[in-house]
Amino acid sequence: MSLPTTTHRVEFVRHPHPGFPHLTAWGIRIDGADLRALVAEATRELWSQELDGDGGRDDDTQEEREAFLLGQHAPLHLDDDADGALARAHFLGDAPQHLRDHNTGALCLLSCPCGIDACWPLLASVRVTPTEVTWSAFHQPHRKQWGELPLGPYVFPRPAYDEALAMPTHLDQDPLTAAPAED
């Protein structure tokens, strides 16, 4: 007897790349939360152990540490994908070779803020069926000691996923770096 699967909602967001505002990036929200914020929470303790461990003390303030966690990844640029065809193929599992792990086939869902995807990617297994898309086994390939991150799995109904890819939300600025609204 299989357990019922919890489904999630994905939203793809197009906005200026946080490090290169002349480029447009593909951001991701899961159940309304920016994937970068979910990754920050999933890696918080891992980074604390690494930055504060072995008797060393990181001298960052709490605000600086939070900015570091939220800024450790950037949304994907995916070249000049004005019509979204490259993004649709990518997020449906047909990623370019430079955006996938050669050993596992995992796809890059977030990239490095420096603009080089392979520098600090967030990888995940993406499984696509006619009825659903599943993201699982999130990991940071440059921190093998972290293992699989405590993130997901996320199961998205395929029709809603396809619709979200076809009609991304367009924003004038990166939602994580946007100035807070004034009252």
Q: What is the pTM of this model?
A: 0.89
pLDDT band at 178 (very low <50, low <70, confident <90, very high): low
Tens digit of pLDDT for each residue in 7-16?
A: 999 999 999 9
What residue ranges in 33-131 does DSSP mark as E strands?
A: 33-34, 107-110, 122-128
- Nearest partner of 138 among 155, 127, 150, judged by Cα: 150
Domain edges within the chain? 10-170
- Nearest partner of 175 among 45, 68, 70, judged by Cα: 70
Side chain identity, residue 138: F
